[in-house]
């Protein structure tokens, strides 16, 4: 078995795939890239049991075969080569010889037949999405998913497809994001919960994708196919909470503020907040927004004022600054609308501008008890 491949093409694929490889695998074979050679195509696969990802690149070869190569060692080596053809030759002593312009390098290979097989989805549902829309949906939601092992359904992103719209939701019970596309739909109604790890991998590569993404799904797995890349992952089992029930419908107090100015003020104030609560206080009165934070234990305090457009009763409300910063940083609008009812109910953030037609973004952040 031998083949010739472009070093830059190989490096690009290895860098895309290596995100699936865990640093501590229970099965040693999972520390490897699986190489499946079929004449002029090389299919490279990685797995962590929960997620299997593959991509194919063209090579010069007349052979077929299957081997596994150590992921970190191979990636570290290929990174160092300038663009040039690399020749891989499988030898009888369980090593692969890599020939480059400047020399030859041997590394051990392993039996590729021990590698986990890709899951086959029987009679799956299917939805096709533009890659940039899926990337945007993931970016706006995945940061809000939780990390609580006791509530696994909240540690992923909820995909809710219907013929009328596509909805993506994430929450950790402190913050919630709902991203909706009303300008597209699915042929059938479908709901499933995607884990965070494969979504973060997809987020990193979808922005450069050249084609639409085909999503196939059944009750246990989902598969994403685009640009000769295939990612299959196990879905999170369970029923997603009724997120609409926690979004307040009556919010008479409405604050419109410049997003960048508000973000910078919250960021500065948070530096002076309590390191245990990260609490900041918003005080709205007339056309003025007061942002303050205090760490009583160390006598630290911040107090800022911003001009705003506020309609409603004068009020004070407290938020965890980290949650507020995450939301503001994941928006790109010039101005944001914050809707509130009373100090002990959630605040709703929505972008005023910068949205595409058919796009809706609703962000919810729970308040914290103010220290008087």
Instruction: Annotate 80-106 with DSSP letters as a single string.
Output: TPPS-EEEEEE-TTSEEEEE-SS-EEE
* Ramachandran angles phi, psi of 281, nearest 5°: -115, 130
Nearest 5°: the CA angle 328, 334, 336 is 55
As a whole number of Å, the CA-based R_g of the chain is 25
Q: Which residue from 272, 320, 48 is spatially nearest to 172, judged by alpha carbons?
A: 320
- Encode pLDDT of 248-299 as tens digits: 999 999 999 999 999 999 999 999 999 999 999 999 998 999 999 999 989 9
- Rounded Cα distance, 15 and 57, in Å: 13
- Encode pLDDT of 233-243 as tens digits: 999 999 999 99
- Encode pLDDT of 162-180 as tens digits: 999 999 999 999 999 999 9
**pLDDT at site 122:** 86
Q: Which residue from 257, 265, 261 is spatially nearest to 281, judged by alpha carbons?
A: 265
Residue at token pair 């890599």: 98
Q: Sorting pLDDT into bands at 50, 70 and 90, what band is 231?
A: very high
**pLDDT at site 207:** 82
- Rounded Cα distance, 222 and 231, in Å: 8
**pLDDT at site 372:** 61
Q: How is 102-128 classified by DSSP, letter by letter?
A: S-EEEEEEEEGGGSPPPPPPSS-EEEE
Q: Is the pLDDT of residue 92 over 90?
A: no
- Rounded Cα distance, 130 and 65, in Å: 35
Structural domains in the chain? Answer: 2-114 (3.10.150.10), 125-244 (3.10.150.10), 247-368 (3.10.150.10)
Q: Is the pLDDT of residue 317 over 90?
A: yes
Looking at residues 122-142, what average pLDDT do you find?
94
**pLDDT at site 359:** 95
Looking at residues 119-138, what average pLDDT do you find?
93
Q: How far, in whole angstroms, is CA 153 from its chain's centroid? A: 16
Residues in the chain: 372
Q: Is the pLDDT of residue 371 over 80?
A: no
Looking at residues 119-146, what average pLDDT do you find?
94
């Amino acid at each position: 078995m031998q083949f010739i491949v472009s070093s830059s093409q190989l490096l690009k694929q290895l860098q895309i795939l290596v995100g699936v490889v865990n640093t501590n695998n229970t099965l040693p074979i999972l520390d490897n890239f699986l190489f499946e050679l079929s004449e002029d195509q090389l299919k490279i696969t990685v797995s962590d049991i929960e997620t299997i990802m593959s991509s194919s690149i063209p090579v010069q070869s007349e052979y077929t075969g299957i081997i596994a190569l150590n992921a970190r060692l191979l990636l570290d080596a290929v990174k160092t080569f300038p663009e040039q053809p690399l020749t891989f030759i499988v030898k009888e002593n369980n090593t692969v010889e890599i020939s480059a312009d400047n020399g030859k390098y041997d590394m051990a290979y392993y039996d590729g037949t021990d590698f986990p097989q890709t899951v086959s989805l029987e009679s799956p549902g299917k939805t096709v999405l533009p890659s940039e829309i899926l990337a945007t949906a993931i970016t706006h939601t995945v940061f809000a998913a939780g990390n609580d092992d006791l509530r696994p359904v909240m540690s992923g992103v909820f995909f809710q497809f219907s013929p009328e719209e596509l909805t993506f939701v994430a929450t950790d019970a402190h913050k919630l994001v709902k991203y909706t596309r009303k300008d597209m739909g699915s042929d059938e109604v479908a709901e499933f919960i995607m884990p965070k790890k494969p979504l973060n991998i997809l987020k990193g590569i979808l922005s450069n994708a050249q084609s639409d993404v085909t999503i196939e799904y059944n009750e246990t797995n989902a598969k994403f196919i685009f640009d000769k890349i295939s990612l299959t992952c196990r879905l999170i089992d369970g029923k997603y909470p009724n997120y609409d029930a926690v979004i307040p419908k009556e919010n008479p107090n409405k604050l419109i503020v410049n997003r960048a100015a508000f973000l910078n003020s919250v960021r500065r104030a948070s530096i002076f907040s309590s390191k245990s609560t990260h609490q900041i206080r918003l005080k709205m009165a007339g056309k003025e927004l007061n942002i303050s934070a205090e760490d009583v234990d160390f006598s630290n305090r911040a107090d800022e004022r911003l001009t705003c457009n506020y309609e409603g009763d004068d009020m004070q409300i407290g938020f965890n600054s980290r949650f507020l910063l995450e939301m503001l940083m994941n928006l790109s609008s010039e101005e944001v609308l914050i809707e509130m009812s009373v100090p002990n109910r959630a605040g709703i953030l929505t972008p005023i501008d910068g949205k595409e037609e058919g796009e809706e973004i609703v962000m919810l952040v729970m308040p914290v008890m103010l220290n008087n």
